[in-house]
């Protein structure tokens, strides 16, 4: 059951850069967060970084199903941005950064689609 409307937060990675400066999700916790990337010509994966204050960003990790339990950095695969796509994110930070594995050409629009 949803307790609020869908919220969309937008950012941009400009051509010649590799990081969206910061996306602020309004200081609210969301049960579902998806990242939507516009089509891009650069084949780049994106590592997800989070911050509680918008200044110090740390890598976000996800659990892998191995024994013993391990963690790896949360990444958005390059295929999501190849033709424009959407992928779920497990995040607990009010500020997010996406850092590309390569400098992008032509820029990339980034949207966080969030709901309760």
Instruction: Give the list of residues 6+ apart from residue 54 with CB closer than 8 angstroms, or none.
Output: 22, 24, 94, 95
Q: Copy the structure tokens of residue 115.
A: 């709901």
Q: Which of 60, 48, 59 is nearest to 23 (CA)?
A: 48
Please list the pLDDT of the chain residue by residue as tens digits (116 residues).
556 789 999 999 888 888 887 899 988 888 899 999 888 878 888 899 999 999 999 999 988 888 788 888 888 888 787 778 899 998 889 999 999 888 888 888 899 999 88
- Residue 54 Cα distances to 4, 93, 104, angstroms: 24, 10, 23
CA 12 – CA 53 distance, rounded (Å): 20
Q: Where along the chain do its domains lie?
A: 7-115
**What is the pLDDT, as a whole number, of residue 27?**
84
CATH number corresponding to 7-115: 2.60.120
Strand, coil or helix: 8: strand
Concatenating the DSSP letter of every residue in 31-82 gives: SEEEEEE---SS---EEEEEESSSSS-EE-EEEE--SS-EEEE-EE-HHHHH
**What is the pLDDT, as a whole number, of residue 2?**
57
**What is the pLDDT, as a whole number, of residue 92?**
87
**What is the pLDDT, as a whole number, of residue 100?**
87
pTM of the model: 0.87
């Amino acid at each position: 059951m949803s307790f609020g409307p869908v919220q969309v937060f937008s950012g941009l990675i400009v051509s010649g850069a590799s990081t969206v400066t910061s996306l602020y999700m309004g200081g609210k916790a969301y049960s579902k967060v998806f990242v939507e990337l516009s089509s891009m010509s650069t084949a780049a994966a994106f590592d997800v970084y989070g911050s509680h204050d918008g200044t110090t960003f740390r890598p976000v990790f996800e659990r892998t199903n191995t024994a013993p339990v391990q963690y790896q950095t949360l990444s958005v695969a390059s295929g999501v941005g190849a033709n424009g796509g959407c992928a779920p994110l497990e995040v607990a930070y009010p500020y997010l950064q996406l850092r590309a594995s390569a400098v992008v050409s032509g820029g990339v629009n980034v949207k966080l689609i969030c709901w309760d």
